[in-house]
Amino acid sequence: MTLAIRTHPNTNTTTKMPFQQQKIAAASQFLLASPPGELNDVFNDIASLVNDDTAVLNALEPAFEKYNLEQYVTVKLPLPGGEGEGLSLVSEWNRVAGEEGRFVDPRVGKTFVFDHVKGKASDVQPYDEDLGREWEELNTGIEAYVNEHFPSEGASGVFKGQAGGSTWNVVIVGNKYNPSNYWNGRWRSSYTFDSTSGTLTGTIRVTVHYYEDGNVSLSTTHSISSTPSSPSTLAKTIAAEEKRYQEELNKAFGGLSEGPFKGLRRQLPVTRQRVDWEKAGVYRIGQDVGNARR
């Protein structure tokens, strides 16, 4: 497991690059480093920084696309039978070959064009390819797992491997946005399963942004290699691996809060009350400290 605290993106650019290209490169790096659920906020900040320079803002479309594909963003599509809407994934795994900007969701039997800048789907078309019994078995298990553990903002997809044959790609994403309490988070996992050899490899990525009276981004990456006995046990294997990793994260966070983070600063001042920094100028610090000691 790798654990890193990122405070700002790397915006280093070559000094030989023209100034306009430097601005585009820096803006793209900021956009790619956007925390979960805050892509539009970062874009608006960039627009302010460049004084709404349309040449710079229009050049950010490739960064939008890269971000959406890497983050497995979700978009709402109508469910079969008119039963409301469901979340469909946007990722490298479910791109439709030869059709720019089009993605497929075999769960709902639809393909759609996704606007990476606006974050919206359009030109929804039916998709009726029969992926076979093996896909149904895999998808049923994965959907049940996601519905149980990511009930509000979770989505999944099982897609035919690009190499064809017996290879399947499994993508899972769970979003949790809580801006009123100054934090947002995203769980991303992707797997490649070969049903012939029974091998499973994958990566779990977790990103959390906390920004109350500060700005801290937590990013973790964990690799997985396992051997499910059959497609029917794939979901159970993934569930066990992800549960194990979540428990590791819980232990790591507990160690941080009781160790390095606790040593960074006093949890409460001597008065045992939080300081309202906006009113710091009117505090009688010396008298308050003296009273606290008495």
In a domain, 186, yes or no: yes
- Residue where a domain terminates, one of 39, 55, 71: 71
Residues 60 and 111 reside in one and the same domain? no
Same domain, 262 and 134: yes
- Tell me how far apart the alpha carbons of residues 213 and 100 are, in angstroms, rounded to a whole number: 42
Cα–Cα distance between 174 and 186 in angstroms, integer?
A: 6
Q: Is the residue at 124 inside a domain?
A: yes
Q: What number of helices (H) and strands (E) belong to the chain?
A: 8, 11
C-alpha to C-alpha distance for 114 and 122, rounded to whole angstroms: 6
Predicted structure pTM score: 0.80
1 falls within a domain: no
Residue 267 pLDDT: 63
For residues 154 and 250, state if they share a domain.
Answer: yes
Query: Do residue 143 and residue 215 come from a single domain?
Result: yes
Q: Are residues 104 and 204 in the same domain?
A: no
Question: Which CATH number does the domain housing residue 31 bear?
Answer: 3.30.1140.60
| Same domain? 262 vs 137 | yes
Task: For residues 62 and 39, state if they share a domain.
Answer: yes
Pair 176, 122 in one domain: no
Looking at the structure, tell me whether residues 136 and 91 fall in a common domain: no
One-letter amino acid identity for 123?
Answer: D
Whether residue 187 contacts residue 211, with contact meaning beta carbons closer than 8 Å, is answered with no
Considering the domain boundaries, does residue 183 fall inside one? yes
Kindly state whether residues 182 and 244 are assigned to the same domain: yes
Distance, in Å, from the CA atom of 87 to the CA atom of 79, rounded to the nearest integer, reads 9
* Amino acid, res. 271: T
Q: Are residues 52 and 85 in the same domain?
A: no
Structural contact between residues 151 and 143, judged by C-beta atoms closer than 8 angstroms? no
For residues 261 and 29, what is the distance between their CA atoms, to the nearest angstrom? Answer: 28
Cα angle: 258, vertex 261, 267; to 5 degrees: 85
Identify whether 14 is part of a domain.
no
Contact present, 113 and 88 (Cβ < 8 Å): no
Q: How many CB atoms lie within 10 A of CB 290?
A: 11
Query: Which strands form 183-194's sheet, in the order they lie side by side?
Result: 2-6, 216-226, 199-210, 183-194, 167-178, 154-160
- Compute the half-sphere exposure of residue 191: CA atoms within 13 Å on the CB side of its CA: 28
Task: Yes or no: say if 131 and 140 are a contact pair by the CB < 8 Å rule.
Answer: no
From first to last of the 294 residues of the chain, give the pLDDT tens digit.
Answer: 444 444 445 545 445 678 889 999 999 999 999 999 999 999 999 999 999 999 999 999 999 999 999 999 999 987 766 666 788 999 999 999 888 899 999 998 899 999 999 999 999 999 988 888 999 999 999 999 999 999 888 999 999 886 667 899 999 999 999 999 999 999 999 999 998 888 999 999 999 999 987 888 889 999 999 987 678 889 999 999 999 999 998 888 777 766 666 666 666 666 667 777 777 666 665 555 556 555
pLDDT in the model for residue 82: 63
pLDDT score, position 16: 67
In a domain, 288, yes or no: no
CATH of the domain at 177: 3.90.1150.210
Range of the domain at 26: 19-71
Query: Can you tell me the distance from the alpha carbon of 219 to that of 36, in angstroms, rounded to the nearest whole number?
Result: 11
Read off the tokens for 276.
Answer: 């309202």
Q: Does residue 203 share a domain with residue 218?
A: yes
Distance CA 246, CA 177 (A): 18
Length of the chain: 294
In a domain, 37, yes or no: yes
Please report, as a single letter, which amino acid is at residue 125: Q
Cα separation, 258 vs 261, whole angstroms: 7
Q: How many domains does the chain have?
A: 3
* Residue 284 covered by a domain: no
| Domain-terminating residue out of 129, 152, 172 | 129
